[in-house]
Structure 1
């Protein structure tokens, strides 16, 4: 019973937080909603018996999103005084979300100890006595080896394509000449113009 309750709880929160990630106007709030979606998706993976994928979601994705959050704060023009002023206004909402996350963790641990959800069918047959990580590695490097290598090749081609598109030469864009900028004399940097009245500015 607790497994079904945890599944519906995590699934509803994942869908709701994903929707709020798109609908939130503040990019900082959008990143926080995305982190909440990742945590609840990790809870779903725990219920499905994939503890390794759940840890990857928490460690890799949430860690990467935290770095993204840092860059968003650094690059955007955010008024920190206004941001600090709104902390107390949303303190009750933040406390409620913290309590909800703590309750979800307790429910997830209870559902995991109860045995998780029995899936209707497996994608690939594995020995139930093997640990999750060992079974995943055996499937990836035996039965799905060529598919795994093809996925890596596709990612490599995508990376090379992104580099080629970034460094291609365009005729309408002038390349920066650093030596010319450094060797420029001071008198060539600015010009003192005295345009006559009514004739505009010479470009």
Structure 2
């Protein structure tokens, strides 16, 4: 594991969701995202000259200037951040503001920046966070030398679901009949050269949602 400061706010952050959303009226649309935030703010132009956060949506993505604060998040200069946020649509939309805002759910990671560090160094090839979906049903599959397992069906983004050994998501206890959205961190395995055995595992960082079938 990297020697960094990890802060998981969990439920403590969630208590802010309803009061803040209520200030903007009914909020019909929400999307959960992972944002990477640069250690330094930059000058930018909005209604007035100001400083902006630099954000991106993947460790190797292009930086974008974000003129608004991320609600419930305090940016400390000199730290690289990985954040779990909600993108919430405003209703009504103000003429001088974006149609959405970001609201912090959890700080996944805060790492001091150095002169030779970057998000690419910090989060790839291992240490990359992903939002994954776990289906309520399982599927029989094979993992290495184990011929038959009740495997989880894991989906990342728009990809097709793939079966995965439950043991490959550490610190996660699957309840049959429940579907999940999780934040996981991919970690490469040093002894991952055995045929038919995955060279990485996922570590559970945060449970975004859990839904029981039929409820």
Larger radius of gyration: 1
Which structure: greater strand fraction?
A: 2
Which structure: greater helix fraction?
A: 1
Q: Which has the higher contact order (CA 8 A, sep 6+)?
A: 1
Q: Scaled by the length of structure 1, what TM-score is found?
A: 0.22
Q: Scaled by the length of structure 2, what TM-score is found?
A: 0.22
